[in-house]
Amino acid sequence: MPQNNASSEQFDAVIVGAGAGGGTAVRVLADHGMKLCLIEAGPMLDPTKEFKEHKSYADYPHRGVEDGGKRYFGTGKPYGFMTTTSGGWTLPGEPYTVGDDSQFKWFRSRIVGGRTNHYGRMSFRFSQLDLKARDRDGLGDNWPIDYSELSPYYDKAEKFIGVTGTVEGIASAPDGIFETPPPPQVHAMLARETGKKLDIPFIANRRAVITSNKNGRAACHYCGECGRGCLTASAYSASQVDIFPALETGRVTLITDAMAREVTVDSSGKPDGVIYIDRETRREVKISAKAVILAASSCESARILLNSKSRYHPNGLGNSSGQVGRNLMDTVGFGLQGYVPYLEGMPHYDTSGFGSTHLYAPWWGWNDHEKLGFPRGYHIEFGGGFRLPGPGSFHGAAQRHGYGAKMKQRIREEYGAGVGFAGRGEMIANDMSYCELDSDVVDQWGIPVLKFHFKWADHEWKQARHMERTFTELIETMGGRVVGLRNAEREADGISVPGSIIHEVGVARMGERAETSVLNGFCQSWDAENLFVVDGASFVSNPDKNPTLTINALSWRASDYLAEEMRKGNV
Amino acid sequence: MSSLVRLGNPSRRDALRSIGLAVAVAGIGTPIERAAGQQVHEQATEMKGALGGYRRQELTAHEWDTIARLATLILPADDVSGSAVDAGAVEFIDLLCHSNEDLAHVFHGGLAWLDAEMRQRGGTTFVASDLESQTAVLDEFVVEEAKQASRIQAAGGGEYARFRDYQAWDQGDLGPGVELFRWVRKMSVDAFYTSPVGLKDLDYRGGHVYSEYVVPEEVIDYVMKRSPFA
């Protein structure tokens, strides 16, 4: 089948995907002395070229509206011109399809480091309440691992990556090993005071940003532009923090622009490597390895498994349970914007900080779900301050105030007086939300594409309405008024469009039993002991905690396990 | 062929060194200038130097002058800062029109409509009209815009409804003028607030790097005293 062997080299492991999961795996396994091949669907990252940190909009004649005024026509870069993403909601020549009656958006980033180059860096530990939530409400499934098994790897990940925070002793938000967080901006202090009135705890945000020098990385310099990529790697990215150092060990071969198509198996049905399509020559190349580690992003890993069909694995590799692609989850999102009149006239200062809210509210109602009428919680993020104006920042204000000296004056006065609250909530896996291969469509590499099906259930809708009431209460108690939706899209503007929070996980879940899950608690396939999936696909549930830190921890744990099993000769 | 990369990226270390060094030399909480070669956001230098070399590409000289007049009316100079024209709004509009036919069409057509309307009213073009006639028509656009917005609101739509129900937006005799006005305003506002002129107007304080993040006590006092939590 392979047309062209890249080399006759035999690797200890081939890792597909250079994001949070793949980056962690390649670094940990290289430290274990293994000989590795890392393949990435996109190009190499050069932070000095790719990251627009410390650039001004005025540096660009198009002022961030992009060539041809793309932003004005809805075709600009997602999250704005300055963000460092190489990907987006659509990729040329690489479609996906969505079933009737479903909405789903899939954000793909093809570059070394993947989405970690620009992500929000919110880093929250799952708690025992999260891992065994079924024990409390009978919904979804429990994880096969306990917090006590995961916690040492959260420790390792936090120590290595660097995560800010304070020790709080809140059951829904386990404490970790923290970098000193920066002090709250004034709007954050207001949120904290408001929260006290409403019994909502606002605590130091936990973000993957170092505030002291660490492993050759400089402490945060508080420019507030983490979303553009961090030149000093003070904000974590898998590219700068995991992959570049791993490459320096000399044990890692990185192949970029390599679009993985399938995991190959030997004459006994055991995985023995990966076939990828070279994006430049369009030729097939096979990489041979003793172990295969998928970290292509949750749904992409599921797609590779489903496309790895052989006479041994007719439904796709690792899919004897039929669970590959099932249990697709995103995070529930809803937000409101407020206006706080007494903030007008506040002396101006630099509110950039470390690029995001300095405080957040972990879920506070874990004992009240029966009374609340929805089963799982959410955390609150919020924003405010004197933000860097960009294209579109004042379109709404201009429309409110007409034109002329008065408009200019009002924009000046209102600047810095807005606040925004956003909820990020847990969704419970359901039978209506999954992905599968679309038998009618292939991408430009000839690889069958995914078709998505998705439905929020009542649990999620009720949770979103609770967010709406809570944020209204917060804004009004603060002395402000609600002015509109934050990041309104559709799903009738009452809940985020599925996939749009970019926490899509769970399509190759781990579990206690091979009959009902794809992986065991070490992210190892039940069907093949040398096959691992170390991205978000292994998630059994999707707590209100942003997934990256848990991907780091699970990938680290799986990598240690694989190294040990190989040492023992079990793999 | 795919690129085989085995080494780390040396430029990362250079970037790290330059900013790390800058942070190390400055005192705690002291703003530090950006690393060499990087633009400093907060320097409110006039943009005239940067714009000096711009050559008109898409608009006629008359269209250019008309947009300049509109942009000045929309964001005039005052004792705090300059105007949208000072911030490069006309260059910005010309540049984007030159690279997008649809956008160019909005401006060419809209400006021609505006002159025709002004001729009907007072016998001359928009630019040649007196200030009173110019602001009179802009005031009408604002009123019409508000009416259109409330029609959409009544039909149950928000900002997004505009795209789903374009006809509803486009009604009214002044429709083409409102459309032009909205585009000039939107782009003038963007050009202004993304420029050093606009950042100065807003007294934007970001764009520094620090060794430690500090919130000034006077701001905390100001806000907390006025808050419900005083």
Question: Sorting pLDDT into bands at 50, 70 and 90, what band is A422?
Answer: very high
Mean pLDDT for the stretch of residues A350-373: 94
**What mean pLDDT is predicted for residues B17-23?**
46
CB-CB contact of A83 with A118 (8 Å): yes
Do A454 and A433 touch, CB atoms closer than 8 A? yes
Confidence band for B17, pLDDT divided at 50, 70 and 90? very low
Is the confidence at residue B216, as pLDDT, over 80?
A: yes
DSSP E strands in A406-517: the ranges are 418-425, 434-442, 448-453, 481-485
Q: Determine whether the interchain pair B208/A46 forms a contact, defined as Cβ–Cβ distance below 8 Å.
A: no
Q: Do B50 and A58 touch (CB under 8 A)?
A: yes
For A456-481, write each residue's pLDDT tens digit.
Answer: 999 999 999 999 999 999 999 999 99
B204 touches chain A (CB under 8 A): yes
pTM for the full predicted model: 0.91
What six digits make up the tokens of A225? 């532009």
With 0-12 / 13-18 / 19 or more C-beta atoms within 10 angstroms meaning exposed / middle / buried, residue A268 is exposed
Give residue for tokens 């489903």. Answer: A306
Q: What is the SS3 assignment for A112?
A: coil
* Residue of chain B whose alpha carbon sits nearest to that of A279: B2
Kindly state the percentage of chain A with pLDDT values over 70. 97
Tell me if ipTM is over 0.90: yes
Q: What is the mean pLDDT of residues B193-221?
A: 95
Average pLDDT score, chain B? 78
The two three-digit tokens of residue A315, written as one number: 């439904």
Q: pLDDT digit string (tens) for A132-171?
A: 999 999 999 999 999 999 999 999 999 999 999 999 999 9
Q: Considering only residues 145 to 164 of chain B, which have any Cβ-Cβ distance to chain A shorter than 8 Å?
A: 145, 149, 158-160
- Count Cβ–Cβ pairs < 8 Å, chain A vs chain B: 258
Q: For residue A280, list chain B residues with Cβ-Cβ distance below 8 A.
A: 1-2
Q: Do residues A495 and A456 touch, judged by C-beta distance below 8 A?
A: yes
Tell me, yes or no, if B10 comes closer than 8 A to chain A by beta carbon. Answer: no
Residue A250 has pLDDT above 70, yes or no: yes
Side chain identity at residue A47, one-letter code? P
Q: Is B52 part of the contact surface with chain A (CB cutoff 8 Å)?
A: no
Find chain A residues with C-beta within 8 A of B1's C-beta.
278, 280-281
Give the tokens for residue A543: 């707590």
Give yes or no for B20 touching A (CB within 8 A): yes
User: Do A212 and A163 meet the contact criterion of CB atoms below 8 Å apart?
Assistant: no
Report the pLDDT value the prediction gives residue A84, as an integer from 0 to 100.
74
A439, with CB counted inside 10 A (0-12, 13-18, 19+), is exposed
Least confident of A145-159, A400-414, A483-497, A534-548: A483-497
d(C-alpha A142, C-alpha A516), whole Å: 12
Helix, strand, coil content of chain A in percent (nearest 5): 30, 20, 50
B132 confidence band (pLDDT: 50, 70, 90): very high
Q: Is the pLDDT of residue A5 over 70?
A: no
More confident site: A404 or A494: A404
Question: How far are the Cα atoms of A303, B14, B154 from residue A442, in angstroms, in the given order?
Answer: 12, 43, 44
Q: Is A226 a residue whose pLDDT tops 60?
A: yes
pLDDT at residue B33 tops 60: no
- Report residue A509: phi and psi, to 5°: -70, 155
**pLDDT given at position B22:** 46
Nearest CB partner across the interface for A346, out of B91, B186, B219: B219
Q: Among A15-24, B7-16, B185-194, B219-228, which stretch is predicted with the lowest mean pLDDT?
A: B7-16
Residue with tokens 């392979």, as numbered in its chain: A2
- Section A552-560 average pLDDT: 98
| In chain A, % of residues over pLDDT 90 | 92
What is the average per-residue pLDDT within A420-424?
96
Inform me whether the pLDDT recorded for B48 exceeds 50: no
Contact B39 A55 (CB under 8 A): yes
Residue A113 in this model has a pLDDT that exceeds 50: yes
CA distance A176 to A157: 10
- Spatial contact of A553 and A153, defined as CB atoms under 8 Å apart: yes
Residue A328 and residue B71: Cα distance in Å, rounded? 50
Q: Which pLDDT band, with edges at 50, 70 and 90, does B171 fall under?
A: low
The pLDDT score that the predictor gives to residue A355 is: 86
Q: Note whether B67 contacts A: Cβ–Cβ < 8 A.
A: no
**CB of B2 closer than 8 Å to CB of A278:** yes
Residues 6+ apart with CB under 8 A from A253: A9, A11, A36, A37, A38, B4, B6
Q: What is the DSSP letter of A329?
A: B
Report the Cα A159 to chain-centroid distance in Å.
20
Q: For residue A236, which residues of chain B lie inside 8 Å, CB to CB? A: none
Whether residues A479 and B207 touch (CB distance < 8 A) is answered with no
Mean of the pLDDT values across residues A378-402? Answer: 95
User: Per the structure block, which two tokens stand in for B83?
Assistant: 């105007």
Do B46 and B86 contact (CB within 8 A), yes or no?
A: yes
Query: Alpha-carbon distance B124 to A560, whole Å?
Result: 80
Average pLDDT along chain A:
95
Band (pLDDT 50/70/90 cuts) for residue A6 is low
Radius of gyration of chain B (CA): 24
Pick the residue from chain A with its C-alpha nearest to B35. A54
**Considering only CB atoms, which chain A residues are within 8 Å of B222?**
345-347
Query: What is the side-by-side strand order in the sheet with A448-453?
Result: A97-98, A448-453, A434-442
Which of B1, B2, B202 to mutate to test binding with chain A, by most A CBs within 10 Å of its CB?
B2
Does the structure show a pLDDT above 50 at B30? no
What's the mean pLDDT in A488-513? 88
Average pLDDT over residues A83-91: 85
Answer for the pair A328, A504: CB distance below 8 angstroms, yes or no: yes
Q: What whole-number distance in Å separates Cα of residue A182 and Cα of residue A167?
A: 14
Could you give the dihedral angle defined by the CA atoms of residues A392, A397, A402 and A403, in that order, rounded to the nearest 10 degrees?
Answer: -60
Model confidence pLDDT, tens digit, residues A33-81 = 999 999 999 999 999 988 998 889 999 999 999 999 999 998 888 888 9
H helix runs in A199-257, sequence order: 244-247
Interface membership of B138 toward A (CB under 8 Å):
yes
> Is the separation of the CB atoms in A23 and A116 below 8 Å?
yes
